[in-house]
Structure 1
Amino acid sequence: MKLKFTALALAGATMLTANAQTEQSSSEIAAHRQAFTNERGANYFLSLGGGVGAMFLKDNNTPSLFDRLSFNAAIAVGKWHSPYYANRLKIVGGEALTYQSFAGTQVRNENYFLGAHYDFMFDVVNYFAPYKENRFFHLIPYLGAGYEYKFHNKISKINDAHTLTANAGLQLTFRLARRVNLFLEGEATYNGLNLHNYDANGFTNAFRISTLAGLSFNIGRQGFSVVEPLDQAYIDDLQSQINALRAENAELAKRPEHCPDAEAVAPVQQGNDRFVADKSILFAQGQATVSKDQLITVFDAAEFVKNGEGEVIVTGYTAKNESRFKGLAEKRARAVAKILTEQYGVASDKITVEWKEAGEAPYSSNQGWNRVVIIRSK
Structure 2
Amino acid sequence: MNLKYTLLVLAGISSLAAQAQTSQSTTTEAPAHRVAFAHASGSNHFISLAGGTGAMFLEGNNKPKFTDRLSWTAALSVGKWHTPYYATRLKFVGGETYTYNNLTGIRNDNYFAGGHYDFMLDVVNYFSAYNPDRLFHVLPYVGVGYEYKFGHTDKALPRTHAATANGGIQVSFHVAPRVNIFAEAEATYGFNIRKAYTPAYSNAFRVSAVAGLAFNIGKQGFTAVEPLDQAYIDGLQSQLNALRAENAELAKRPANCPDVVATPVATNDRFVADKSILFTQGKAVVSKDQLITVFDAAEFVKKGEGEVIITGYVAKNESRFKGLAEKRAKAVATLLTEKYGVAADKITVEWKEAGEAPYSAAQRGWDRVVIIRSK
1:50 corresponds to 2:46: no
Change (3 A) 1:182 1:258: same
Shift of 1:258: 6.5
Secondary structure in 1 matching 2:21: helix
Shift of 1:328: 3.6
Shift of 1:252: 4.3
Q: What is aligned with 1:372?
A: 369
Shift of 1:315: 1.6
Q: What is aligned with 2:17?
A: 14
Cα offsets for 1:329-352 (capped at 9, x unmatched)? 334323323333344443332222
Q: What is aligned with 2:112?
A: 113
Letter in 1 for 2:317: N
Q: What is aligned with 2:100?
A: 99
Letter in 1 for 2:99: T
**Aligned 8 A contact 2:110 2:150 in 1:** yes
**Aligned 8 A contact 1:12 1:282 in 2:** no
**How many pairs are equivalent?**
371
Q: How does 1:23-172 map to 2 (within 5 A)?
A: 26-37=27-38, 41-100=42-101, 107-172=106-171
Q: What is aligned with 1:209?
A: 207
Secondary structure in 1 matching 2:24: coil
What is the alpha-carbon distance in structure 1 between the residues aligned to residue 342 and residue 19 of structure 2?
A: 26
- Residue number among 298, 303, 307 corresponding to 2:303 in the alignment: 307
Q: What is aligned with 1:333?
A: 329
- Residue number among 238, 244, 259 corresponding to 1:246 in the alignment: 244
Change (3 A) 1:306 1:320: same
Gaps spanning 5+ residues in structure 1: where? none
RMSD, matched Cα: 3.2
What is the alpha-carbon distance in structure 2 between the residues aligned to residue 150 and residue 195 of structure 1?
A: 11
Q: What is aligned with 1:189?
A: 188
Letter in 2 for 1:156: K
1:288 corresponds to 2:284: yes
**Aligned 8 A contact 1:272 1:308 in 2:** no
Shift of 1:99: 3.4
Secondary structure in 2 matching 1:121: strand
1:198 corresponds to 2:201: no
Cα offsets for 1:33-89 (capped at 9, x unmatched)? 334447654433322211111122234334333222111111222333333333322
What is the alpha-carbon distance in structure 1 between the residues aligned to residue 279 and residue 56 of structure 2?
A: 63
What is the alpha-carbon distance in structure 2 between the residues aligned to residue 74 and residue 181 of structure 1?
A: 16
Change (3 A) 1:320 1:35: closer
Cα offsets for 1:108-161 (capped at 9, x unmatched)? 332222222222222223333333444433322111222222222223344433
What is the alpha-carbon distance in structure 2 between the residues aligned to residue 101 and residue 363 of structure 1?
A: 81
What is the alpha-carbon distance in structure 1 between the residues aligned to residue 192 and residue 253 of structure 2?
A: 85
Letter in 2 for 1:20: S
**Aligned 8 A contact 1:140 1:172 in 2:** yes
Gaps spanning 5+ residues in structure 2: where? none
What is the alpha-carbon distance in structure 1 between the residues aligned to residue 230 and residue 204 of structure 2?
A: 55
Q: How does 1:228-267 map to 2 (within 5 A)?
A: 228-255=226-253, 264-267=260-263
Change (3 A) 1:124 1:219: same
What is the alpha-carbon distance in structure 1 between the residues aligned to residue 338 and residue 366 of structure 2?
A: 26
**Aligned 8 A contact 2:268 2:374 in 1:** no
Change (3 A) 1:71 1:326: closer
TM-score (norm 1): 0.83
Change (3 A) 1:276 1:50: same
Change (3 A) 1:341 1:96: same
Change (3 A) 1:15 1:152: closer
Q: What is aligned with 2:221?
A: 223
What is the alpha-carbon distance in structure 2 between the residues aligned to residue 256 and residue 146 of structure 1?
A: 75
Change (3 A) 1:323 1:43: closer
- Percent identical residues: 63
Change (3 A) 1:245 1:338: closer
Letter in 2 for 1:208: R
Secondary structure in 1 matching 2:155: coil
Secondary structure in 1 matching 2:262: coil
Shift of 1:325: 4.2
What is the alpha-carbon distance in structure 1 between the residues aligned to residue 190 and residue 280 of structure 2?
A: 55
**Aligned 8 A contact 1:273 1:309 in 2:** no
Moved more, 179-188 or 366-375: 179-188
Cα offsets for 1:240-267 (capped at 9, x unmatched)? 332233233323444556776x7x4135
What is the alpha-carbon distance in structure 2 between the residues aligned to residue 42 and residue 268 of structure 1?
A: 62
1:351 corresponds to 2:347: yes
Secondary structure in 1 matching 2:281: coil
What is the alpha-carbon distance in structure 1 between the residues aligned to residue 115 and residue 203 of structure 2?
A: 17
Shift of 1:286: 3.2
